[in-house]
Structure 1
Amino acid sequence: MTLMQTQGSALMSDEAQLHWVAMGDTARQLPVVMLHGGPGLPDYMGDVAPMVADLAPVYRYDQRGTGQSPWAGRHSFARHVTDLAELLNAWDVPKAVLIGHSYGTDLASRFCMTHPDRVAAILLMCGPFIGDWRTAYQAERDQRMSAAQQDQLRALKELPRRTEEQEVELLTLSWFTDHAGSEQGWRWAAQAAQQRRPINWAMNDELGSEGRTDPLDEHLGELHACLPVRAEILGGADDPRPVSALESLALRLGLPLTRIKDGGHEPWLEQPDAVRAHLRRFVQGTVGA
């Protein structure tokens, strides 16, 4: 089945232009909005959107300063939340189903706290991680890398400037451990290192710093009170980020957590059928209701 795809750009209140893509019949409500991770990467949810676009229209967009949304300036969670609200206005969408991945789960959560009336349902995929998850994450990454790979990654990070070839190598080394299998994971990471470019490192630093200063952990009571009736967490059982951090989040928010067996940080790559089935059940259960 061929699904219609449209695209355009929306003008934000501060004159930024954000590029968006919609798949499916946009006249149908409720729509799904997929929020990509990073922060600092362009949208990469193009393989996920078709999994549910026959059930509801799916909107995606490049966050400001990434992909086809060129912009220069400081980044904040508040501005990114405002961007999503203004995009919904531009799309004439009063309420949407949010599916966030990685950093996109943090954005979706903060949007939900600010605009709970505009969230029909929310699926948090591979995030947000709470507590001291970074220590376990780094240990697992090191376990999945050789000593030589660890040394090379450190050396590349320390370079004041990197060539195109060095940037691709750094990203490949940084990302291949995200996947359940190292051999296939290396191929996926190398492909992503070529396609998800350029990286907005300033955006990554600024939002990462704000996340450490004002962690979502401190807002979980507020988030719990704002969540829609339909809210779930989905994670890859073989994500190097500890599943225990998602389990803790699920417990504190009172949400169901599904672990995708043999799936990594992008579980739709290793286990597309399992992820497709889960997303379709979730979306159908919302738009059908």
Structure 2
Amino acid sequence: MFKAIGCTLLLLWTGFAQAGTATVAAAATLRYALDEIAPQFRQSTGHTVKVAYGSSGNFYSQIKQGAPFDVFLSADMAFPQKLVAEKLARPPVHAYAEGRLVLLVPNKSPLKADGSLQDLAAALKDGRLSKLAIANPSVAPYGMRAREALMHAGLWESIQPCLVVGENISQATQFASSGAAQAGLVALSLAVSPQLVSHTRFERVPRQWHQPLRQGMVLIQAANPAAQAFYDYLKTAPAQAVLKKYGYDEPVAQ
């Protein structure tokens, strides 16, 4: 019996002794979800992750320039697919979640949390709106989808003087949640975080108003077992449960 226990402990020790670290470039929308997933991953596998958060477009450019990331978790499918096409990442690109766009307003804002953007349009006319936060549409997928939603609502041109553009979705959310802007078109996964729910409110923007926010991941480096393990772990039920907790849906197959 003691011999069996000793062998089991030896196997566990050997596995964890060989554990490594994966360096992950992650869309800013994932910040709170990965804060929970990372320790679960370490407990399950012994591997650790070092995560950098930012806009998917900026990470795409950095990886093209040789930034030493092992895994890229994008807020869309397009940027990782470009890396695969350019032979800078290993296929396939896996859709790990689908995000949602919301209109977020701080509790002291004169605007309503109206996902139809009707009150936003009214506030633009009656002077209640002076600043609307979005992520940079040039590099951030959520900023791209915010632009599409505003175009659908017929507001994109008229709202230009009011736009406050964050470098990524996390910064845009900070602008809106702090009251620096009266509202923001941001990610549901950030809006539901405990840090925001006490002093903000939000409502989902209709899915049909913009392209789907299917979020894709891809392996950049080939020889890191920790990276492969993290890529695989995000597909598991425990990881998917955390993503669901933060408002992500299971991506629809295409």
Task: Report TM bin, short chain.
Answer: 0.3 to 0.5
| Structure whose residues are more often strand by fraction | 2
Structure 2-normalised TM-score?
A: 0.37
Higher radius of gyration, 1 or 2: 2
Tell me which of the two structures has the higher relative contact order, counting C-alpha pairs closer than 8 angstroms and 6 or more residues apart.
2
Higher helix share: 1
TM-score between the two structures when normalised by the length of structure 1? 0.34
